[in-house]
Amino acid sequence: MSHRPRPSAPRLEPLDPATLDEETQAIVPPGSLNIFRTLAHHPKLLKRWLVFGNHVLAKSTLPARERELVILRTGWRCGSHYEFGQHTSIGIQAGLSEHEIRSLTDDSVTQPWTPIDRVLIAAADELHDDQCISDATWAALAESWTDQQILDLIFAVGQYTLVSMALNSCGVQLDDGVPGFPA
């Protein structure tokens, strides 16, 4: 997948938490990731976005491995080094192998994927490409997933598409020790 070049430097510098008001410091303490320090330019947006992001990441009805599979595929399809890098380690903790994570950067989705993995990847790709899950993919999802899980899948792809757009556009750089895309 080829994308236009992304900013090689921040367009919005990550803020030093010491310069933030008390309320924002509570959300963005010292040592925070670049994404939070960048979004601290708009504290009200950051605060409200965190509620939604927390649902998608921590309260979703999707199993963690499958949630991370969809997030990583979305980060890849959106060309977000930052998102893909941050979720590489989360994906490994959730049970994805390094080989599976590398395979998410391949347009061929035959190996090493199970049939349901392929359906999840297809759903993420369809949402990215057409903003709609096809009838065939929906039917395949409905065989294994509840209505709530399908909604959480749609909103996970949407959330991480939104985040990827912000990361890419703001030029948020990788945090120390975080990989980008696999070589």
Q: Write down all domains in the chain, each with its CATH number in brackets.
A: 17-56 (no CATH), 62-170 (1.20.1290.10)
Over pLDDT 70: what percentage of the chain?
A: 98
**CB 177, CB 101: distance < 8 Å:** no
Residue 112, preceding bond cis, omega within 30 degrees?
yes
Q: 20: which DSSP letter?
A: S
Q: Look at the pTM and tell me if it is higher than 0.85.
A: yes
Per-residue pLDDT tens for 14-70?
999 999 999 999 999 999 999 999 999 999 999 999 999 999 999 999 999 999 999
| pLDDT band of 118, cuts 50, 70, 90 | very high
> For the residues of 90-154, what is the DSSP string, one character each?
HHHHTT--HHHHHHTTSS---SS--HHHHHHHHHHHHHHHHSS--HHHHHHHHHHS-HHHHHHHH
**CB 17, CB 30: distance < 8 Å:** yes
Coil vs helix vs strand at 49: helix
Q: What is the pLDDT of residue 165?
A: 98
177: left (phi over 0), alpha (psi -120 to 50) or beta: left
| pLDDT band of 111, cuts 50, 70, 90 | confident
Q: What is the pLDDT of residue 108?
A: 73
